Structure 1
Amino acid sequence: MKHLFFVGIAGHAMRGLAYAAQQSGNQVTGLDVPATSPGSDWLDEHGLVWTNISSPALLDGVDEVIISGGTAASDPILVEAAKRGLPVISFAEFLGKLTKDKRVISVAGSHGKTTTTAFITWLLESAGRQPDFLIGIQPFNFDSSARLVGSDIVVIEGDEYRASTLDERSKLQFYHPDVLVLTSVEMDHPDVFADLAAVKARFAEVIAAMPPNGHLIAWSDSAAVTELAAHAKAPVVLYGLQSGSVVGRNISYTATGIEFDLEIDGHVLGRLAVPLFGRHNVLNSLAAAAVAIGEGLRFGDIAAGAATFKGAYRRFNVVSMPTSPVTVIDDYAHHPTEVAATIQAAKLHFAGRRVVAIFRPHTYSRTKTLLHEFQHAFGEADKAYITGIEGAREAGQEASVSGADVATGIGASTTYEPDRAKLVETVIADAKAGDVILCMTVSGYDKLSGELAQRSAGL
């Protein structure tokens, strides 16, 4: 047993991994400054020892320090760890060490990682496989975002972003997947990647390292993905809506989710009903089904698991009451492609209703680099509200771009409102019965959807 100290312990993935490490017999303590609900509440409810007050004494008796991706290199606790000669490793490296002897299924790509990882995990779980897992956000079918209980198979959400401020390698590189799902490849994280070629190179490294007896599950409708897949040494299984071994046909978008025929190598196995929304989730479902088939699940197992999959936190979650005159949806979309897909999903599933999109841009570098794409992502929205930018790790770059720049490029149906309280009042004053209010927000605005759901219930 080791004494492990987690820095940034209140984050979704970090707290899940910390809990899994504790359940495996390790002594776990941690620090998060600041840590707010729901993260702090979750830690307390699951018996994890942590504090939000940093002190050198926290490292007394510690064997290893595990840090989140956002932990600053200058953090006093890291300085103290260096003085004591304690090993400091990233969340990703620690997870890689724990899972190195397991069969690893990892989901990577610019979009859809969380939902697809959670879906694969649930399909295996509901079929009795009981996999270990690590998912970047809370999946609704499980009590935690991570579980490491000794299974010989683990499902991991893989991220191309750097492992930490101390380690420029991608998180994904530490997982050494036997099965890799590549959902999409687009330019993102300009604070780490100079251009799309750099993003592709990061994925190419992982694909090249895959074992010849592994499998690459790749989206056939993306030129960037198929370009990378063409260089894989491992067998490739393509999925998509147009071509591939695994294809979705005859898609229906209903008030309760998506339905489609699952076609494998030209033969329809049957029809799947999934309580998820949007075309993008048809693709996520196909990727999950492709993995499940490769792992030996029967169609009946897949259909049963699909029907009972509950999705993940902040992934097109309807937070308003069914009887409310306004439907309020909470989502974490923060890339132009994700924004457009989420708005499209609202239009597909709530046909004929006015879609009001609220968006809080995340990081100055992403907003500036993808400004043109953001300005064109709201085309299907009937009304849009843009807030100020959440700078996150990029404090001091406020002058480079603003939320007003995003709003100006969208058009006349858009309002820029940097004040949160005024935003709530403006949205409620304009809301009409039948509206679909789509909250795509981060950080201090992540509870906005709940507030709007409560306020709009009496319209």
Structure 2
Amino acid sequence: MYFANYSIQCYMPKIHFIAIGGAAMHNLALALQLQGYHISGSDDEIYEPSKSLLAKHGILPDSFGWFPEKITSDLDCVIVGMHARADNPELIKAQELGIRIESYPSFLYEHSKNKQRIVIAGSHGKTSITSMVLHVLKTLNKKFDYLVGAKIEGFDLMASLSDAPIIVIEGDEYLASPIDRRAKFLLYQAHIALISGIAWDHINVYPTFESYTASFEELIKSMPKAGSLFFDQTDKNLNQLTDSCPDHTEKTGYEAHPSFIKNGQTILKGIDGKEYEIQIFGEHSLKNLNGARLLCEQVGVSSSDFYQAIQSFKGAAKRLELVGKSDSCLFYKDFAHAPSKVKATTLAVKSQYPQRTLVACLELHTFSSLNPAFLPHYAKTLDAADFAVIYLSEHAREIKRMDRIEDNQVQQYFEHPNIIILRNPADLSAYLLQKSWSNSNLLMMSSGTFDGLDFIDIAHQMGLSVE
């Protein structure tokens, strides 16, 4: 019997999360707790906002680390995150006791087997597209479940599980768990799928571009009868992969939604003949918006209703999120880390405000970006910026057990005439605060935290009003 059915019974399952601090993991744990499940968890390190949220709901581990004694025979299931290793002592104990072990994608599939499953995949843009779809559906009072990788305005959690007829899932290509080496998006068995684009990433688990694209090709080939596949038709590699889409699946390509810029504001040219002012910008955002529109149409939302609803969408957290502003300066933060996203995000800000000086700061934080062999993929990605800063966290490098990247390597591969390399937050703060920000914009890009740099404090010291 699947756990999805237990919510109507007296007995509620006991589930333990190994690596509960992950973005998806802690939100799934909280969503299940709201359904009445008994939740426990462990992790060796938990950052904000996961830490505060888990504490607020009473399921923050008392101590960080792995404790095999937490794994007891009365557990109904153990959900293991990819952050854990295959030799994790709690995982080994669960295996010894014969307890059911799931990754969060496999668990989510079991919970949603009777729902229409919409999966949004791609090397970049998937969080933004998922967020747009959720915003529109919520605005229009549609009933749905979801899993998304970023905080969205109007949503308390990044996951929801109920008796809704559909579920919208951000489909990550990273491996499902240390003992299930499939891409997460394959486990959801999508009825409707969208792929926003492909650019090599996660080289620690996909050592070649071919191994990386193979998972996307498998997703395409696995589409069901009467299924629907949407894809960015401007992506050459993705276009080629969609040749393997089964004949029984309808496939539809899309590109950036027609628009124009007026006084720094992006205006959509609606297919209904009307114009709609929106709060996001950049060609990549317009591609994402068009993909979201097509997905919403698949679940019965008219284009006009979509346009009306999307006007109030401000973006997902850390996706060109406005930190502070003045009459002559804007400060954005963005989750960008993959080369293609770094280039698209930098170009978007410069194109929207071409008369302003752009300072773009990028933290190399992922396994891929900290690997010297991957650095050539960043060539010219910051060209749209007038000044470029590369931040290299020694703490992140040590945790990931990566070799040190020398300054000359960074300068060689980024090929930017005005680039500096910094390695601690004090130096970065000093650099930002010594600059004049009149008629200038600041863009901070990372999947990390720049070693805990306080963006709000920086914005105040720059003389900006904080959003």
Other-structure match for 1:260: 268
Question: CA separation of 1:286/1:163 partners in 2, compared to 1, >3 Å: closer, same or farther?
Answer: same
| Residue identity matched to 2:260 | I
- Structure 2 residue matching 1:168: 3-state secondary structure: strand
CA deviations over 1:181-240 (Å, ceiling 9, x no partner) = 011012111112232222222111111111121100111111222222222121012111
C-alpha contact 1:439 1:448 (8 A) present in aligned 2: no
Matched with 1:245 is: none
Indicate the larger mover: 105-114 or 50-59: 50-59
Q: Give 2:267's aligned amino acid.
A: E
* CA offsets 1:344-373 (integer angstroms, 9 cap, x no match): 111122231111011111235444343223
Q: 1:133 to 1:382 in 2, by over 3 A?
A: same
How high is the TM-score relative to the length of structure 1?
Answer: 0.91
| Cα separation, 1, equivalents of 2:321 and 2:224 | 37
Q: Which amino acid aligns with 2:238?
A: V
Question: Distance between the aligned counterparts of 1:48 and 1:149, measured in 2?
Answer: 21
Structure 2 match to 1:279: 283
Which one-letter code corresponds to 1:131 in the other structure?
F
Comparing 42-51 with 412-421, which one deviates more in the overlay?
Answer: 42-51
CA displacement, residues 37-80 of structure 1 (integer Å, 9 cap, x when unaligned): 32111122344453333433322332211122211223232233
How far 1:331 sits from its partner (Å)? 0.7
Establish whether residue 335 from structure 1 lines up as the match of residue 348 from structure 2: no
2:209 pairs with 185, 188, 196, which one? 196
Alignment partner, residue 62 of structure 1: 75
Q: TM-score, normalised by structure 2?
A: 0.89
Out of 324-333 and 347-356, give the one that drifted further.
324-333
Partner of 1:237: 252
In structure 2, what is the equivalent of residue 21 of structure 1? 32
* 1:133 aligned partner: 146
The question of whether the paired residues in 1 share the 8 Å contact of 2:42 and 2:67 is answered with no
Tell me the amino acid that sits aligned with residue 313 of structure 1.
A
TM-aligned CA deviation for residue 421 of structure 1: 0.7
Q: Return the alpha-carbon distance in structure 1 between the equivalents of residues 399 and 51 of structure 2.
A: 24
Between stretches 226-235 and 310-319, larger displacement belongs to 226-235
Contact 1:9 1:15 in 2 (8 A): yes
Secondary structure, counterpart of 1:123 in structure 2? helix
Aligned-partner Cα distance in 2 for 1:382–1:431: 14
* Aligned with residue 108 of structure 2, among 75, 82, 95: 95
1:220 to 225, 233, 250: 233
Counterpart Cα distance in 2 of 1:344 and 1:170? 30
Instruction: State the 1:262 CA deviation.
Output: 3.5
Task: State which drifts further: 79-88 or 175-184.
Answer: 79-88
Mapped partners of 2:412, 2:462: distance in 1:
27
Match of 2:295 in 1: 291
Are the aligned partners of 1:273 and 1:306 in contact in 2 as well (CA < 8 Å)? no
Cα shift at 1:376: 1.1
Amino acid at match of 2:459: A
Partner of 1:52: 63
Corresponding residue number in structure 2 for 1:4: 15
For 1:52 and 1:2, locate their aligned partners in 2 and report how far apart those are by CA, in whole Å: 24
**Contact 2:260–2:268 under 8 Å retained in 1:** yes
Larger CA deviation: 166-175 vs 300-309: 300-309
Please state whether the residue corresponding to 2:261 is helix, strand or coil.
Answer: strand
Q: Does 1:350 align with 2:365?
A: no
Letter of the 2:255 partner, please give it: G
| Structure 1 residues 271 and 48, CA gap change in structure 2 (3 angstroms) | farther
Partner of 2:392, secondary structure, is coil
Structure 1's 416 and 393: CA in aligned 2 closer, same or farther, altered over 3 A?
closer
Give the residue type in structure 1 aligned to 2:341. E
Instruction: Quote how far apart the aligned CAs of 1:285 are.
Output: 0.1
Q: How far off is 1:160 after superposition?
A: 1.3
Change (3 A) 1:425 1:219: same
Which of 365, 379, 387 pairs up with 1:383? Answer: 387
Q: 1:194 to 1:235 in 2, by over 3 A?
A: same
Q: How many residues align?
A: 446
- Provide the identity percentage: 26
**Alpha-carbon contact 1:364-1:398 (below 8 Å) kept:** no
2:231 match: secondary structure: strand
Deviation at 1:269, TM superposition (A): 5.0
Aligned equivalents of 1:301, 1:52: Cα separation in 2: 48
User: In terms of mean alpha carbon deviation, does 353-362 or 273-282 score higher?
Assistant: 273-282
Give the CA deviation at 1:454: 2.3
Query: 1:244 maps to which residue?
Result: none
Q: Which amino acid aligns with 1:454?
A: H
CA-CA distance at 1:404 after TM superposition: 4.8
Alignment pair present for 1:455 and 2:461: yes
Counterpart among 290, 314, 327 of residue 310 in structure 1:
314
- For 1:301, what is the secondary structure of its paired residue? helix
1:152 paired residue number: 165
Return closer, same or farther for 1:176/1:414 CA change in 2, 3 Å cut-off: same
The alpha-carbon distance between structure 1 residues 431 and 30, as it changes in their structure 2 partners (threshold 3 A), is: farther
CA distance in structure 2 between the aligned counterparts of 1:183 and 1:355, rounded to whole angstroms? 27
What are the Cα deviations for residues 115-167 of structure 1, in whole angstroms up to 9, with x where unaligned?
00111122222222121000012122311100111111000000111112222
RMSD: 2.3
Q: Distance in 1 between matches of 2:376 and 2:51?
A: 38
Unaligned stretches of 5+ in structure 1? 242-247
Question: For the Cα contact (< 8 Å) 1:5–1:30, is it kept in 2?
Answer: yes
Find the aligned partners of 2:177 and 2:31 in 1 and give their Cα distance: 21
Q: AA paired with 2:462?
A: S
Equivalent residues of 2:326, 2:464 under 8 A apart: no
Q: In structure 2, give the amino acid aligned to 1:104.
A: R
Cα distance, 1:208–1:23 mapped onto 2, change above 3 Å: same
**Matched letter for residue 342 of structure 2:** V
